[in-house]
Structure 1
Amino acid sequence: MDSKTNQMETYIKILEGTSVETLYKLPHKQLGAHPTGFVVIHKEPLLIDFPFTICPLFTCSSDEQTLPGSNPHDVVVLYTVEQGSLERVLYTLYETYKETACEKTETSMKRYVFMKQLPPRKIVIPCLKRKENLIPVLQRFQSIELPKEGYRPQILLVEHSPMPELQSVAEDFNCEYIWIFLDPRMPTMPLGQFNKALCYDKAFLYASPAQWYLFHDNDVLVPKRFWSLLDSNVERADTEFLQPYTHRCLLNLKQVVADMFRENLELADKPLDDSMYFPLQPGAPGGSLYLTRQRYLEAGGHDPQFCWGYGPEDALFYHKLELLEPIAFADDPPIEMIHLWHPPAAAHNPFRNEMDFFVKGVFKQKNREEKLAYMKYKEELLKNLMKSNL
Structure 2
Amino acid sequence: MNKTKALGAAACALLGAPAIATAADAKWDIDTAALYYAESGRVSLFEPVVSANRNWDERSLGAKLTLDTLTGPTPNGATPSSTPRTVTGPSGSTSYTTQPGKIPLDDTFKDTRVALALDYSAPLFDDWKAAYGLNVSTEYDYRSLGGSLRVQRDFFEHNTTLALGGSFAADTVDPVGGAPDPLSVKSNSGGDDDGHGGSSKSKSTFDLLAGVTQVLDPKSLLRVNLIYSHASGYLTDPYKILSVVGSDGEPLRYVYEKRPGTRTKTGVYAEYMRALGTDTLRASYRFQTDDWGIDSHTVELDYRWRFSAANYLEPQVRYYRQTAADFYHVALYDGQETQVQDASADYRLGGMDTWTGGLQFGHTFQGGSDLTLRLSYYVETPDGKGVPAAAADGLSKFGKLVPDTKAVMATVGYRFSL
TM > 0.5: no
Larger helix fraction of residues: 1
What TM-score do you get using the length of structure 2 for normalisation?
0.24
TM-score of the two chains, using structure 1 as the length reference: 0.25
- Structure showing greater radius of gyration is 2
Q: In proportion to residue count, which structure has more strand?
A: 2
More relative contact order, 1 or 2 (CA 8 Å, 6+ apart): 1
